[in-house]
Chains A and B, each alone.
Chain A
């Protein structure tokens, strides 16, 4: 089981890893986008970090909703509304719980990913964050169904997300700013899929 304290701890670790990878993500975005993904993710999670002190007192649903609202209202760009929507939907799914298990997490992630699809009018195969999110979720659900423990489930998720990032390289982007490049987007990994994988890794590290 995971309590509020651990959720906040993971969020702070995400903030740290996004700050550390600010330049890396921005460089990826420079090649096929407009070069602000790392800057925006770091800026958004820095805002989350500012609110961390009050967060632990909230239930887990509210923690995630607060993170989502912060990303939606403070970041802008497309990563703000997309990740923000994912966190808000996940928070609404979890609701007023002070502890969650793997089934809660996967259920919330699934609803969050559906939110990203709807908000971005996108699906897999379009060279976006969904190309890491969806395979990661599928792999985790499979492991969970097979009775694996949290660590195994999350590790399978990370592996699938990493493979998903790799799979974005040969894709032609059809959504987001990389789509303007058409065929020239081929050969480069998607920054959004990469940032999701970094965040999922922080969750896996906590188990």
Chain B
């Protein structure tokens, strides 16, 4: 393992401290926990909290700020934060309007956030939640934990955060967050695995001529392995799955081509070139595109494509003002 760290035990702490020191105008850290909140709390609006394991930077702390989140909780690398840290975050941002938790659909994340919500409710805080499950690589069924929450979560932060900023009610903010979840689909692929600092070993092994298709954001292996493809071939493959899942025909969409950590922008632009062409060919109108690193997997090489179907409300909120370290609009 070759990483620019000081010790595996302090990775998360030092990362959060470094982030807050970079953006003191936006962020502050809660003492004793890796919880980041807005530098200046805004009262009178629904407060949004998200979080998850570390290793997905800039998610989620990078999205704390005006028009997006009020707090982000960072667990150990690839591990859901514990409920006491989440509770501290909820307490720090709670307003009379209530708190919305944006949870990615993983067993640990859902359990820890729900336990924190139960404790917050005992303290008189009104907490609601949405669970993001945008990954079409995973089969959704009654008998499994369902789809994973991946990069589409950033659209939830953006849009629900924008509505919360207008003073909308908790029910309204929850409803729009759910609307984003219902209309966003994502799928990814990897060309190289990631290495958790504390383990020191790659999460899986790939031969030089192989790629992992349907990869998650925790270095967990994907749904299957294929021979290395060209950028256009893998893009077509992922888009096919995404577009088959909900009916995008004739609609306006936002696109996110998200890098996993070790894939250069050069390659992401090549992928987006294909995404734009394929969508145009199908009569799907792209009104906004995001290309870059929005939800990474430490040093994994790979990418995901997210396509969000828009209506007038979602479009307006997507374009509304956001001012955070990792996203501005």
Contact = CB atoms under 8 A, between A and B. Distances in A.
Which of A33, A40, A76 has the largest number of chain B CB atoms within 10 A?
A: A76
Query: In terms of DSSP, what is the predominant structure of the interface of chain A?
Result: helix
Interface in B76-128: 76-85, 106-108, 111-112, 115
Interface stretch (B168-176, B193-201, B308-316): B193-201
A26 B201 CA distance: 10
A181 B111 CA distance: 21
27 contacts: A31-B221, A34-B216, A34-B220, A35-B78, A35-B219, A36-B79, A36-B199, A39-B198, A72-B82, A73-B84, A75-B79, A76-B75, A76-B85, A77-B80, A78-B107, A78-B111, A80-B112, A81-B112, A119-B111, A176-B145, A177-B218, A180-B223, A181-B220, A181-B221, A182-B223, A184-B221, A184-B223
Given A26-B199, A34-B220, A72-B115, A40 B79 contact: yes
A43 interface: yes
Which of B83, B84, B220 has the largest number of chain A CB atoms within 10 A?
A: B220
A8 B16 CA distance: 35
A177 B220 contact: yes
Query: In terms of DSSP, what is the predominant structure of the interface of chain B?
Result: loop
A172 to B, nearest CB: 10
Given A35-B219, A76-B82, A177-B220, A182 B108 contact: no
A30 B145 contact: no
Interface of A: 23, 26-27, 30-36, 39-40, 43, 72-82, 119-120, 174-177, 179-182, 184
Contact of B82 (A35, A36, A73): A73
Given A176-B107, A180-B148, A77 B223 contact: no
A76 B143 contact: no
A140 B207 CA distance: 46
B139 interface: yes
Interface of B: 53, 75-85, 106-108, 111-112, 115, 137-139, 143-145, 148, 196, 198-199, 201, 203-204, 216, 218-221, 223-224
A191 B245 CA distance: 33
Contacts of A32: 221
B82 A30 contact: no
Given A76-B79, A180-B148, A33 B220 contact: yes
Contacts, number: 114
Contacts of B223: 180-182, 184
Which of A33, A74, A81 has the largest number of chain B CB atoms within 10 A?
A: A81
Given A36-B79, A174-B143, 20 more contacts: A23-B199, A27-B201, A30-B201, A35-B219, A36-B198, A39-B79, A40-B79, A72-B83, A76-B76, A76-B79, A76-B112, A77-B53, A77-B108, A78-B107, A78-B111, A120-B107, A175-B145, A177-B218, A182-B223, A184-B221
Nearest to A177: B220
Contact of B108 (A35, A73, A78, A181): A78
Contacts of B145: 174-176, 179
B192 to A, nearest CB: 15
B56 to A, nearest CB: 12
A76 B108 CA distance: 7
A34 B112 contact: no
Contact of B77 (A36, A74, A181): A36
Contacts of B143: 174
Contacts of A175: 107, 144-145
Given A77-B79, A77-B80, A174 B107 contact: no
Nearest to A75: B82
Contacts of B139: 182
A26 B203 CA distance: 10
Contacts of B198: 36, 39
A176 B79 CA distance: 13
Which of A75, A77, A180 has the largest number of chain B CB atoms within 10 A?
A: A180
A73 B107 contact: no
Nearest to B201: A30
A80 to B, nearest CB: 6
B209 to A, nearest CB: 19
Which of A26, A27, A30 has the largest number of chain B CB atoms within 10 A?
A: A30
Contacts of A81: 83, 108, 111-112, 115
Q: Which 8 A-B pairs have the closest CB atoms?
A: A78-B108, A34-B218, A73-B84, A76-B82, A77-B79, A77-B108, A81-B111, A76-B75
Which of A78, A82, A119 has the largest number of chain B CB atoms within 10 A?
A: A78
Given A26-B199, A40-B76, A184-B221, A177 B107 contact: yes
A168 B287 CA distance: 48
